[in-house]
């Protein structure tokens, strides 16, 4: 039966479709990498970093290379913004490897890595307080929600925690996301594997 013509035809058709899908997936991944790289080189704040009238700060918007004056959308200091920009952009390859209930030891390792990277204490405390699913926004708050929304997570802009399988998701860089997926000023997501 294995060598029957219709089985061979089905197998070759299936392999052609698989090859086509794999090449499209590779093209999508390279385009995502290109866009992330371009976004990485777009400054969050203008070079002056000066507040304008009524406390407005100059920000670059993702679709617009010119700076526009908007009200400060977060409560981060200039030092905290500089620290955020100093982290490498992270890429999550396996969202299913997310650890939603990290124990205190694992959280301690992540905290230490963030401290060693120069994370300001106030921001460190706020980020680490959101390292457990109890404090995550609704779109991540349960296993069922994470399974349903997994495809949306690809839109996150993440920053890698140095030396760890964890990322920081900052509200500052993820304002394009629905409110059910972000927390101000941000949150830490810890993984068993799959972080580049």
The string of pLDDT tens digits covering residues 112-155 is 999 999 999 999 999 999 999 999 999 998 888 888 888 889 99
CB 60, CB 67: distance < 8 Å = yes
Q: What is the pLDDT of residue 1?
A: 57
In angstroms, the CA 40 to CA 190 distance is 22
50 pLDDT more than 70:
no
What is the reported pTM? 0.62
Distance of alpha carbon 160 from alpha carbon 117, whole angstroms:
11
Average pLDDT, integer, range 93-113:
92
Contacts 24+ apart (CB under 8 A), 116-123: 116/162, 117/83, 117/86, 117/87, 117/161, 117/162, 118/83, 118/86, 119/83, 120/77, 120/79, 120/80, 120/83, 122/80, 123/76, 123/80, 123/83, 123/185, 123/186
Query: What is the rounded average pLDDT for all residues in the chain?
Result: 80
């Amino acid at each position: 039966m294995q060598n029957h013509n219709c089985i061979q035809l089905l197998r070759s058709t299936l392999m052609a479709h698989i090859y086509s899908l794999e090449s499209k997936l590779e093209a999508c991944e390279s385009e995502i990498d290109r866009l992330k790289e371009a976004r990485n080189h777009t400054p969050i704040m203008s070079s002056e970093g000066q507040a304008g009238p009524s406390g407005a700060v100059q920000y670059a918007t993702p679709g617009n290379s010119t700076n526009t004056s908007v009200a400060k959308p977060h409560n981060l200091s200039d030092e905290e913004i500089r620290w955020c920009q100093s982290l490498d952009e992270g890429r999550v390859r396996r969202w299913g490897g997310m650890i939603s209930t990290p124990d205190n030891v694992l959280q301690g390792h992540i905290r230490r890595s963030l401290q060693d990277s120069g994370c300001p204490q106030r921001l460190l405390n706020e980020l680490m307080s959101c390292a457990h699913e109890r404090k995550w926004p609704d779109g991540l708050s349960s296993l069922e929600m994470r399974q349903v929304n997994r495809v949306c997570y690809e839109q996150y802009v993440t920053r890698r925690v140095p030396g760890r399988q964890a990322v920081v998701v900052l509200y500052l860089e993820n304002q394009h996301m629905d409110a059910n997926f972000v927390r101000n000023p941000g949150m830490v997501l810890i993984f068993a594997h799959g972080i580049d």
